[in-house]
Amino acid sequence: MHQQTLHQVPRIVVLISGGGSNLQALMDAIAQGVIDATIELVISNTPDAKGLLRASKAGIPTQVVNHLEYSSREAFDRELIHVIDDKQPELVVLAGFMRIFTPQLTDHYHGRMLNIHPSLLPLFKGTNTHERALEAEVDQHGASVHFVTSELDGGPIVLQSLVPVLGEDSPATLAARVLVHEHIIYPIAIKWFCEGRLNLSHDQVTMDGQPLPAQGLAFQS
Ligand code: GAR
C-alpha cells in the first residue's frame, strides 16, 4: 500500500543487533543533508550491540527490547510493534537486525519496512552468505535492499550492488567489500523512500510510479 507521509520530515525507527555500520551510514547521510529525515529511535534486541553507542553519540534515543525476556516470538514482536509505533515512523529500517519476525509484524509494516541483506537475492537468503557464496564459487556477489514481507529475505527487491568475487577472497575479505557497497546503496534506497519516490503496492515495487524488475535496480558506481 502507498504510505502517506504523516510528518513533514519523515520519521525513521532503526532496528539493529550488532555493529551498526549501516546505521552509521544512514546517520551520516542525514547529518550531511543527503536524506531529509529524522531517526526517532534505535532499537536493539541485544544490550551489547555496538550500534547503540553510535546512536547515543549522535544524540539519538535508544532502547533495548531483549528477545530473551519474552516467552514467545509473538510476545516479542508485540512489544516491538508497541515500541516502534509509539514513535509513529513512516519507515522502519532493519540494519543488521538478526531476528526472524512473525507474519503479524511483517504484515503490520507492509510497504514501510526495508532491510539490507548481504547477498544478491534471491541467492543466499539467511545467514553466512559470504561463506556460502565462496562455497558455491560464484563470480559475482553483492548486497540487496528489499521491502520486508513474511518470507525471510524474500520481499520485493529495490536495489542491488554487484561485488566481484576475487580468487583470494576469504569470507571476511568478501564481507568487508560487500559492506562498503551496503553503506552506499542503503542510504540511496532510504532517500528514495523518504522522498516518496519508492513504493510497494501488491508486492510490486515502483520507483517514480514505474514498476521495477524482480531484481530491483542495479546500482552503478
Ligand atoms: C550487514 O552486513 C547486513 O547486511 C547484515 O548484517 C550486517 C550488519 O552490519 N544483515 C543481515 O545479514 C540480515 N539478514 P552492521 O551492524 O555493521 O550494519
User: Which amino acid appears at position 63 of this protein?
Assistant: Q
Instruction: Give me ligand 1 centre to Cα 138, in Å.
Output: 20
Q: How confident is the model at residue 220 (pLDDT cuts 50, 70, 90)?
A: confident
Cα 71 vs. chain centroid, distance in angstroms? 26
Using the atom order of ligand 1, give the atom closest to the CA of residue 182. Answer: 4
Pairing of strands 204-207, 210-211: antiparallel
- Confirm whether 181 is a catalytic residue: no
Q: How confident is the model at residue 95 (pLDDT cuts 50, 70, 90)?
A: very high
| pLDDT 10s digits, 11-22 | 999 999 999 999
Annotated domain spans of the chain: 11-218
Say if residues 55 and 23 touch (Cβ distance below 8 Å).
Answer: yes
Rounded Cα distance, 207 and 37, in Å: 19
Whether 206 shows a pLDDT value over 90: the answer reads yes
Could you tell me if the CB of 26 is within 6 A of ligand 1? no
Helices (H) and strands (E) in the chain, counts: 6, 11
| pLDDT 10s digits, 147-202 | 999 999 999 999 999 999 999 999 999 999 999 999 999 999 999 999 999 999 98
In this prediction, residue 4 carries a pLDDT of: 53
Rounded Cα distance, 142 and 114, in Å: 17
Instruction: Give me ligand 1 centre to Cα 186, in Å.
Output: 11
Rounded Cα distance, 43 and 16, in Å: 6
Read off the pLDDT of each residue in 72-94 and give the average, rounded to a whole number. Answer: 98
Whether 140 shows a pLDDT value over 80: the answer reads yes
Whether 32 shows a pLDDT value over 70: the answer reads yes
User: What's the CATH number of domain 11-218, 3.40.50.170, 3.50.50.60, 3.90.930.12, 3.40.50.300?
Assistant: 3.40.50.170
Q: How confident is the model at residue 2 (pLDDT cuts 50, 70, 90)?
A: very low
Read off the pLDDT of each residue in 67-73 and give the average, rounded to a whole number. Answer: 98
Say if residues 184 and 221 touch (Cβ distance below 8 Å).
Answer: yes
Instruction: Give me ligand 1 centre to Cα 15, in Å.
Output: 11
Using the atom order of ligand 1, give the atom closest to the CA of residue 179. Answer: 2
In this prediction, residue 5 carries a pLDDT of: 57
